[in-house]
Structure 1
Amino acid sequence: MINSIVVDDFLGFSAGTISNHDFASKFSMEQNDVYKVLRVESGLVKITFNGLNILLKKNQCLFINRNVSLIISSMDDFQLSFVQFKDSCIDKNYDINMMIKSSKLFDSEKMFNKISLKEKHTLIINHYLELLFNLQLNERTSFNHLLTQNTIQQILLLSISIFNSSIPKCNHTKSETFAEKILKLFNESIVDNVKNNRSVKYYCDKIGVEYSVLNKLCLSTYGVSVKNYLDLKCLHQIKYKLESITLSIKEISNYFNFSDISNFLRFFKRLTQMTVSQYREKILNRKPSIIFNSSN
């Protein structure tokens, strides 16, 4: 038996995680007229389609054009995240739609393209993927439909930025060295201070850079504004604390210096579309990933 995944008709996408611990198993993505994005989280994965065999390793992503069926398999244990979506998810914004369709990510001739994510991008990508996973469990509302479209567009815009930046450049300007230095100082400051301070102005003053400069660097490097990036870094630490059952939600709220617990709860739900209690329950009762069934 070969598993397959079908796009949600209302939201226009499907997303999830596939784990394989049986080298004899295969997984099929057969639906036509949908774009497919695959990202390997661990292991080595073989993707077969149109007579091609493509190997993906950890943190590599494959972008495949519409009307392509594929088989996923491996001789090793692996974990893979996938998103497949219809045109309706990128048609809403004309400028973004044209940018995505004119990019080489979904090459109309090769039918695919591959990029490698750097460590600095994984936090953002993981956040977007988790949003999509959670959206599938939420109500089918117009708001969630728009949030789905926005999230997928953000994933693709960041991917285009990574893809374009991988093109070799003849000269490295001083501004690139400056950018690396500023972002390094910014990230080091976040690690030490984000539990007490989530003000962008605080970090601009600390590292001696104007807001407009730091915001532009975050947009070009991470694909999100400096405020969103700061919030995601804080969220990452909050999630780590929530995995400890010895700490109450109020204690965690106090640890991150929120003025009151209601602000903490709103902050978390705004970024994850889940309540803190729902997330903690999800962690404590973590459901197994989709497991391959052996093919006949």
Structure 2
Amino acid sequence: MNWISCIKSYQSYLKIERGLSKNTIDNYSFDIERLCLFLTKNGIVVSPIKIGEETIQQFIYSVAKEVNPRSQARIISGLKSFFSYMVFEDYRADNPLELIETPKTGRKLPDTLSVEEIDSLIFAIDLSANEGERNRAMLETLYGCGLRVSELVSLKISDLFFEEGFVKITGKGNKQRFVPISDLTQKYIQIYRNSIRTSITIQKGFEDTLFLNRRGKQLTRAMIFTIIKNLAVKIDLNKTISPHTFRHSFATHLLENGADLRSIQLMLGHESITTTEIYVHLDRTFLTQVLNSFHPRK
């Protein structure tokens, strides 16, 4: 069995059995393709069934010269998953990455925005342009519901349950959850829908997509990044931000105002509470406030 057929089989497994998104599958595949490129460059002819730990270790050493420890850890994790699949399907008897150590990376805490900075970004949107109302509605939804950028661009009109005060979100692995949506966010979405979206010529297949580009199609993730980056430049924000920064700020602000981690976990759609703890960095000042407010020996 060669590398190409193994990768295709693995991709089918990730899509059908695990229900992963195309973006996630592409990321997993990239790690394997990088290994294949290393083998080709070094004239190493070996199949995915026969490749051993020593060759994998050589690849890891070469990668270590080019990327940081966090990226190394991601590549090792991706390859370990691939070879675990090979073992599961009885193509191999062992996983060649079983004894390869992952570099220690520590916890990288994402940047966060203050409420004032988020307000400044949204206020900087030019509402005189047609896309202005759309952009305001998108950023309010991104921050107000704590969505991933992929969840935002794929949001459907049929996912809006405004009377009940919720939106239905399809997250990683096609897992669905209901997230509360505030009256303010609902208002901006309705303004966009009633005053802007109705004048767009919608392309076939995108009739139910909420946020559309000028051509009547779904927005790309890259476009959301560009919109946010341009707004940050406009207000001279001295931070490197992305759509994910709004999601992290959503969680952080909820925590700072007294929300419990379990509730935040459900709204973010995290399977593990540990993931939520990484997103929501707890500073010492806040921990002291929690202790003084809730401990019986305060």
**TM-score, normalization by structure 2:** 0.27
**TM-score, normalization by structure 1:** 0.27
Q: Computing the radius of gyration over CA atoms, which structure comes out larger, 1 or 2?
A: 2
